[in-house]
Structure 1
């Protein structure tokens, strides 16, 4: 029998010596033979025991220098191998991991947290005799130990277990929440974005700890915090890390934040019943948390900026680095903007709808009481006065005018509102550098729109500016080459060449062309058709068009297409396409999507993303090129104009014709029609000559 690794401790030197002699005597009487060269009988205040240096005089543990030097040497050896052959013997990595973990008694849970990526890489090896490549994260962990092992190599006998703050956190399917017990008004809250909602509960709970920590970091910086969570995995991962990369990265983010802000977290598990307040906070859904688009912000900034503070924002819609939020968010400068003095600060105001009256209380107080109820809808109406695409175009046009004005030394006070002469000179400069009148027209209406937005008279009403625009149109006028319409004969040839039984690829272009032709559909309308927008009725189909270019008041038109007894029947071909493509009647998927080859056939991709305009145009060219002399004369608009031209030449009622094509004016409708030679000759044949 062998005895090893014994250690005795007493309060003073004399008592320690007496106990040492008594232990030696007891061992000899029991039949053991003490090995003198491996024993230390004289009392000491410093010694190395089981690879750990113990200093009772100063009250701390340390790892001896020889072990630290060996660890650093092993790390340098691995880095050298990676520099040369880009891979390293797996046993070398495992050895370093073992050396680091063996310092747990002194360094604590950090040895597990900062070796997890190394462990993940070791576990990927095929055998102990193979070579592996280390990830960037593993290399960073090696560098960490090389640089900082000496700084963390100490543990004092007496540790202050008290805490300065207590925090509870929790996560739900919709968001996260947390609060400081001693300051309950300091609440952190946020909502998951769409891509985060499908993550695991452990990811959400761990992210909640990270986000609450970063949200409250300015309050708890430099403090020891007792942190309560109702997820046991989170306690382990925050302390020791995880072999799952995504969770390990979150644990490292928490560790890095604690280092950066000098926060000491002691995380503890509690039952869910003791975490009800944090659970309630995590389930808050802030329906009033809205924001303006980047383009609107740029417009406001160009008109009245630069702004200093975003007074009503959150961590996912703030537009300025300094922002205030309803609850504490990561990087927010404060909560409750109403507690701050706004005087002298050029602030951006995008308040929740229910706070608009309070945010603009001073101005609203001067309104007649009967008008107060209209204030809530003011912001919505201003934002919806133009389509998003129009706002984007006009804003970009105004920014170009502003840059030109600044470059040419025009004072900022003459940019908005602008002087008529300066605008006329700007339009003239565009004429000199443009091949078409489009940039000049865009600039004219962009400047007009910016002035209307702030209630100022636009310089575009000046006759000099108006005549400048008309002159530009005349000088830069180009002949419009309209695309040739597709005829029923061309459709028949395309169908005969392309149709194949059970072939989804060929049926897709056939169906798309026939629907666009018979329904007078624009390409944007065609590509945005979903299966749920289509209703099959007795003798016809109805296709719901939720958003149309000419439907400015969003009446949401429906197109009806009749069943016909022919091979080119759009209804029959649509039925075949939906059947072969396996699109269920209840589906909300786009019917025209990209395809993937599966064995000997094509299937629609699962990603619910419609075909792009470019891809659709390529399919159109491929389908019709063999049957026309010059494919450049034809485009996707040829389908809409082809159907319109055929109907016009057959004498269809103008009222039905215009409604079917969803045209706003006679001029727009007539632009799609190419009159037949027979109809054009009727004019001269009926002059009475």
Structure 2
């Protein structure tokens, strides 16, 4: 028997010898007819395993293998079954999935395409072609990496459940061009509606049965049809079905509105068609030929216009998308510079803040996925799920901090990605405010340290040449005189201090309120008293023999001759500083719990305020951005407060 298809063909016979004779006859006939067989694609010696038109035929083992091809790009994945007209599966990666390794994406592509085409592949021998060599190895042998091994196990279990015999084979990328092309398709019109919109139209026109134009991430009904096969759709190519049997929901791509409306007329279907109010669109004259809805439209309403009521394409593009359309319109020379923006946007906040917001958003994502929300509902997020998320945090939190972090994390992530944040909703705002009220506790401010306390500490601890005691004395005096936070104090290096005849200058490289990291110089006057910060710090640096790059407040080692600096290249810990301060102050106060390291900054600020230092100089010295922040540190003198009522003339 000989089978021909265009310029491809193969022959078979009962045994090796008969097949050899037949092959020689065919070759001779072709040459006499003027055809020149291509040597590298022709086998004249009989074999028992051959690939013909993409189908593997194995006469030795007695099976025919239907091949599948797949590919995964940085934007999406795709695969197709070569013998089926509509056997194409396609999907878009989420933002998190894009950051995964190429091996992870290629392996996940196999997993998802196979799940989508199960109705075709079930009970078959499947030959799978991929242009990623790692995939072929991992499917057959597994992987040492847990995330890849997990997907490989999923593929194995799926094949066992559906009686699929899978063989994966690597092919060069040039032989996988169709799958490569399909994987890079970006849906521009894959927009959808929210469940809030579905509720509005269902209450007005009744229950709907099928979502005719949807995708895996935006389907609103259990039965839905997609452009490509995916794991949960009921079919593909909605136009190939009759629409008259079921009440349908129609949210078509804008380019298909005319075709959809005409088919609804032809099939006499009943359903809800959702289109934008776009009077310049090509479909508008069909819907409103004379400025009024045409006879085929029995009823209509205006839907909410806020973007939160709609979903954009999974890749962020389309009529409800973010920046993708703008990016696609850029000249090629500028496209490569787009990669500069994500890192810069991360730096729109301090590193610690950006890290906190990123972690906060990841907590929202984990909660959403664990509670049944799809990846398309995470960014952009919908109003009601976010409100429920805040409510769940409020039930378990002990302070307003977790709720605030969640609120601002979601808000920031939406802003830098070009989406309208659900935090602008009055519902979400009110839940947020309710949480802050419920979880807030009375603020008990710590008492400020006074100059009298400093005198008592100095008198007890000062000892000539004692580096250990001088360290905590200098830390206390500098924090008091410079209004220093503990983080600012611990970051001071010897090179940051400049001594002058009448004062010293200290450079604070970074501060909590220094948004742009310009740094700030503070100046502290020389007072020539026992509490003089300049004199005491000068002694401490001399006794410790500190070099320019040494941290001044580092750990110390005990020796037979006293103490000496240890680990000069890093400062002591916050907890060590706190304990040293508490031990120094404890003998001189009734309740040490009323004091903390901030008591030094507060004490210096209160002393300065009560002696009438100008407000502008006061704020600059303490590096405060607002009067409200500054005033929170000041404890007014009782005599100053009494002046108010004394001046009333009573």
Residues of 2 paired with 1:590 and 1:619: CA distance? 17
* Change beyond 3 A, Cα 1:443–1:363: closer
Alignment of 1:466 with 2:403, yes or no, is no
Instruction: Give 2:536's match in structure 1, choosing from 568, 573, 585.
Output: 573
Question: SS where residue 500 of structure 1 aligns?
Answer: coil
Residue 416 of structure 1 and its aligned partner are, at CA, apart by 1.4
Match of 1:665 in 2: 626
Q: Which runs of 5+ in 2 are unaligned?
A: 1-92, 104-132, 135-144, 146-172, 185-323
Which string of whole-angstrom CA distances, capped at 9 and with x for unpartnered residues, describes residues 294-318 of structure 1? xxxxxxx98432644379xxxxxxx
Which string of whole-angstrom CA distances, capped at 9 and with x for unpartnered residues, describes residues 59-90 of structure 1? xxxxxxxxxxxxxxxxxxxxxxxxxxxxxxxx
Match of 1:305 in 2: 97
Instruction: Give 1:403's match in structure 2, choosing from 359, 366, 371.
Output: 366
* Change beyond 3 A, Cα 1:399–1:490: same
Which string of whole-angstrom CA distances, capped at 9 and with x for unpartnered residues, describes residues 573-628 of structure 1? 000000000113xx211111001112131000144110100000000011000000
Residues of 2 paired with 1:499 and 1:386: CA distance? 43
Instruction: Give 1:683's match in structure 2, choosing from 636, 640, 644.
Output: 644
Alignment of 1:632 with 2:632, yes or no, is no
After TM superposition, list the pairs within 5 Å mapping 1:184-199 onto structure 2: none
Instruction: Give 1:552's match in structure 2, choosing from 504, 512, 515.
Output: 515
Match of 1:596 in 2: 557
Match of 1:482 in 2: 445
Which string of whole-angstrom CA distances, capped at 9 and with x for unpartnered residues, describes residues 364-383 of structure 1? 78436997897685355223
Residues of 2 paired with 1:363 and 1:679: CA distance? 61
Alignment of 1:542 with 2:505, yes or no, is yes
* Change beyond 3 A, Cα 1:509–1:686: same
* Change beyond 3 A, Cα 1:308–1:648: closer
Does structure 2 conserve the Cα–Cα contact (< 8 Å) formed by 1:308 and 1:345? no
Aligned-residue CA RMSD (Å): 3.1
Residue 472 of structure 1 and its aligned partner are, at CA, apart by 1.2
Instruction: Point out the structure with the larger helix share.
Output: 1
Residues of 2 paired with 1:470 and 1:614: CA distance? 34
Does structure 1 conserve the Cα–Cα contact (< 8 Å) formed by 2:554 and 2:570? yes
After TM superposition, list the pairs within 5 Å mapping 1:24-63 onto structure 2: none
* Change beyond 3 A, Cα 1:303–1:629: farther
Alignment of 1:521 with 2:521, yes or no, is no
Residues of 1 paired with 2:502 and 2:643: CA distance? 36
Residues of 2 paired with 1:376 and 1:428: CA distance? 37
Match of 2:381 in 1: 418
Moved over 4 A (4+): 340-346, 361-365, 368-377
Alignment length (residue pairs): 351
Residue 388 of structure 1 and its aligned partner are, at CA, apart by 1.2
Question: SS where residue 541 of structure 1 aligns?
Answer: strand
After TM superposition, list the pairs within 5 Å mapping 1:641-652 onto structure 2: 641-652=602-613
Does structure 1 conserve the Cα–Cα contact (< 8 Å) formed by 2:94 and 2:375? no
Residues of 2 paired with 1:374 and 1:492: CA distance? 61
Does structure 1 conserve the Cα–Cα contact (< 8 Å) formed by 2:450 and 2:603? yes
Question: SS where residue 550 of structure 2 aligns?
Answer: coil
Residue 519 of structure 1 and its aligned partner are, at CA, apart by 0.4
Query: What TM-score comes out, normalization by structure 2 length?
Result: 0.51
* Change beyond 3 A, Cα 1:432–1:384: same
Residues of 1 paired with 2:640 and 2:463: CA distance? 38
Residues of 2 paired with 1:423 and 1:411: CA distance? 13
After TM superposition, list the pairs within 5 Å mapping 1:65-464 onto structure 2: 303-305=95-97, 307-309=99-101, 366-367=329-330, 378-464=341-427
Does structure 2 conserve the Cα–Cα contact (< 8 Å) formed by 1:302 and 1:399? no
Residue 548 of structure 1 and its aligned partner are, at CA, apart by 0.7
Residues of 2 paired with 1:438 and 1:625: CA distance? 31
* Change beyond 3 A, Cα 1:633–1:308: closer
Question: SS where residue 644 of structure 2 aligns?
Answer: helix
Which string of whole-angstrom CA distances, capped at 9 and with x for unpartnered residues, describes residues 168-212 of structure 1? xxxxxxxxxxxxxxxxxxxxxxxxxxxxxxxxxxxxxxxxxxxxx
Residue 654 of structure 1 and its aligned partner are, at CA, apart by 0.2
Residue 541 of structure 1 and its aligned partner are, at CA, apart by 0.6
* Change beyond 3 A, Cα 1:434–1:362: closer
Match of 2:527 in 1: 564
Residues of 1 paired with 2:408 and 2:580: CA distance? 36
* Change beyond 3 A, Cα 1:376–1:462: closer
Residues of 2 paired with 1:443 and 1:509: CA distance? 39
Residues of 1 paired with 2:400 and 2:525: CA distance? 42
Does structure 1 conserve the Cα–Cα contact (< 8 Å) formed by 2:555 and 2:567? no
Residues of 2 paired with 1:302 and 1:518: CA distance? 53
Residues of 2 paired with 1:374 and 1:498: CA distance? 60
Question: SS where residue 492 of structure 2 aligns?
Answer: coil
Question: SS where residue 409 of structure 2 aligns?
Answer: helix
Residues of 1 paired with 2:490 and 2:414: CA distance? 36
Which string of whole-angstrom CA distances, capped at 9 and with x for unpartnered residues, describes residues 157-177 of structure 1? xxxxxxxxxxxxxxxxxxxxx
Q: Which runs of 5+ in 1 are unaligned?
A: 1-300, 312-320, 323-330, 332-336, 347-360
Residues of 2 paired with 1:302 and 1:373: CA distance? 21
Residues of 2 paired with 1:623 and 1:642: CA distance? 16
Does structure 1 conserve the Cα–Cα contact (< 8 Å) formed by 2:503 and 2:525? yes
Match of 1:173 in 2: none
Residues of 2 paired with 1:423 and 1:523: CA distance? 37
Residue 565 of structure 1 and its aligned partner are, at CA, apart by 1.5
Does structure 1 conserve the Cα–Cα contact (< 8 Å) formed by 2:347 and 2:354? no
Residues of 2 paired with 1:377 and 1:305: CA distance? 20
Residues of 2 paired with 1:667 and 1:363: CA distance? 42
* Change beyond 3 A, Cα 1:607–1:534: closer
Alignment of 1:654 with 2:649, yes or no, is no
Residues of 1 paired with 2:471 and 2:619: CA distance? 28
Residue 363 of structure 1 and its aligned partner are, at CA, apart by 8.3
Match of 1:89 in 2: none
Does structure 2 conserve the Cα–Cα contact (< 8 Å) formed by 1:309 and 1:345? no
Residues of 2 paired with 1:581 and 1:635: CA distance? 27
Residues of 2 paired with 1:616 and 1:343: CA distance? 62
Which string of whole-angstrom CA distances, capped at 9 and with x for unpartnered residues, describes residues 101-144 of structure 1? xxxxxxxxxxxxxxxxxxxxxxxxxxxxxxxxxxxxxxxxxxxx
